[in-house]
């Protein structure tokens, strides 16, 4: 079996991921659930090695032999692009393919909050898109860049590992840099991007202190900087950034972050009733109160202030999930499984049930 045939099946079945490993048949992730393809015999070590050679070039195989880890992009013309991760497990190769649509999604198609359109048009500042692995952060960033590209003229540089969605210049000019092929590190690429006349810089992942520090400096000097973190909510995202600095620098960083932050979008994916998935998104917008809480080391007060900021477009993750349940898009059970506070979610839904009952009376 050719790897391209398996990848076409991935697309045909609507799967987001394909997993290949020795002594196991192919496994698809469909609507968030792993589904083993038992009609295909388990793969041998030779099969997996063949798949690996089919999707890589000599340079990549040499890098994998040295590092025992590999990330890259693979495309099938007219079908899809895939983000590929290769690793060793129990002495054999394991491959994971993440499907990336050729068509760049819009904010509306993804069901994202309309505030995403306002944030991406900010002239400067720092915007974080956060969430656990496989929560759709890359798609959210792509949709926001797509809206920017259709709306205003900007110079955009993205730094990705690997490049996923491919952009064509429309109103913007967009340069996409691939970690490994086009640059050696996020930090190095960010430093040099600042010399390339950008208006907007997109950092695929902020992994280290140097990258975060340079990103905030870029935001201070008049650029719009977007980056991702693997954090579950806005307050934790702020804590994560500050905690990466030595203790003696943290108060200065709080002040700096409070001055540049524009918003934090924290998301998780939920299965839709009837199939597919949709993002529930917490929205923190940096109003004067939020900025003061960051500056005064009172991040624990951020969640209640997000709740009180609903008129400004803010919402907690539980509020987002409750709205999806109210709209009949996701089930209560699926929302409860992803909620960080099932009691708070239940309180919001009980309030909705009461309002519905009052309306009927």
CATH code, 33: 3.30.450.90
On whether residue 324 sits in a domain, the answer given is no
208 and 304 inside one domain: yes
Q: Which of 46, 45, 37, 49 is nearest to 6 (CA)?
A: 37
57 and 191 inside one domain: no
172 and 309 inside one domain: yes
- Residue 191 sits in which domain range? 115-315
Mean pLDDT (whole number) for 206-231: 95
Return the number of other C-beta atoms located less than 10 Å from residue 131's C-beta. 26
Global confidence as pTM: 0.90
On the question of pLDDT at 334 being above 90, the answer is: yes
For 129, how many CA atoms within 13 A lie in the half-sphere containing its CB? 29
Distance, in Å, from the CA atom of 185 to the CA atom of 179, rounded to the nearest integer, reads 6
Distance, in Å, from the CA atom of 355 to the CA atom of 347, rounded to the nearest integer, reads 12
Question: How many domains, the chain?
Answer: 2
Model confidence pLDDT, tens digit, residues 282-293: 999 999 999 999
User: Given 67, 100, 133, which residue is the final one in a domain?
Assistant: 100
Predicted confidence band at 238 (pLDDT cuts at 50, 70, 90)?
very high
Q: What is the pLDDT of residue 359?
A: 60
120 and 96 inside one domain: no
On the question of pLDDT at 134 being above 90, the answer is: no
Q: Which of 290-294, 304-308, 354-358 has the lowest mean pLDDT?
A: 354-358
Q: Which of 145, 120, 140 is nearest to 282 (CA)?
A: 140
132 and 96 inside one domain: no
On whether residue 322 sits in a domain, the answer given is no
On the question of pLDDT at 361 being above 60, the answer is: no
Q: What is the pLDDT of residue 343?
A: 87
Q: What is the mean pLDDT of the chain?
A: 94
On whether residue 320 sits in a domain, the answer given is no
135 and 283 inside one domain: yes
137 and 259 inside one domain: yes
Distance, in Å, from the CA atom of 315 to the CA atom of 336, rounded to the nearest integer, reads 17
226 and 289 inside one domain: yes
On whether residue 342 sits in a domain, the answer given is no
204 and 129 inside one domain: yes
């Amino acid at each position: 079996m050719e790897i391209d045939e398996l990848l076409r099946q991935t697309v045909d079945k609507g799967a987001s991921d394909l997993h290949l490993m020795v002594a196991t048949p192919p496994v698809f992730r469909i609507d968030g659930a792993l589904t083993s393809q038992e009609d295909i015999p388990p793969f041998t070590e030779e099969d997996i090695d063949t798949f690996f050679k089919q999707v890589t070039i000599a340079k990549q195989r040499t890098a994998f032999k040295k590092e025992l880890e590999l990330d890259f992009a693979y495309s099938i013309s007219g079908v899809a692009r895939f983000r590929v991760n290769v690793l060793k497990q129990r002495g054999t190769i394991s491959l994971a393919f993440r499907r990336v649509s050729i068509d760049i999604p819009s904010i509306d198609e993804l069901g994202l909050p309309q505030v995403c359109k306002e944030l991406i048009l900010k002239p400067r500042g720092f915007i974080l898109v956060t969430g656990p692995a496989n929560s759709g952060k890359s798609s959210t960033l792509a949709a926001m860049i797509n809206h920017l590209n259709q709306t205003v003229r900007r110079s955009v540089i993205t730094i990705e590992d690997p490049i996923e969605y491919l952009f064509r210049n429309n109103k913007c000019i967009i340069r996409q840099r691939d970690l490994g092929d086009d640059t050696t590190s996020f930090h190095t690429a960010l430093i040099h991007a600042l010399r390339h006349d950008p208006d907007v810089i997109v950092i695929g992942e902020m992994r280290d202190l140097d990258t975060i520090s340079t990103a905030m400096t870029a935001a201070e000097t008049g650029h719009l900087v977007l980056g991702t973190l693997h954090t579950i909510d806005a307050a934790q995202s702020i804590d994560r950034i500050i905690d990466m600095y030595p203790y003696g620098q943290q108060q200065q960083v709080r002040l700096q972050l409070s001055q540049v932050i524009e918003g934090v979008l924290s998301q998780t994916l939920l299965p839709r009733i009837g199939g597919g998935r949709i993002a529930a998104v917490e929205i923190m917008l940096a109003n004067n109160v939020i900025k003061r809480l960051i500056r005064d080391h009172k991040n624990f007060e951020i969640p209640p202030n997000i709740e009180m900021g609903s008129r400004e477009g803010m919402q907690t993750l539980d509020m987002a999930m409750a709205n999806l349940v109210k709209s009949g898009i996701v089930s209560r059970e699926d929302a409860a499984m992803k909620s960080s506070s099932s009691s708070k979610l239940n309180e919001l839904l009980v309030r909705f049930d009461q309002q519905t009952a009052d309306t009927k009376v």
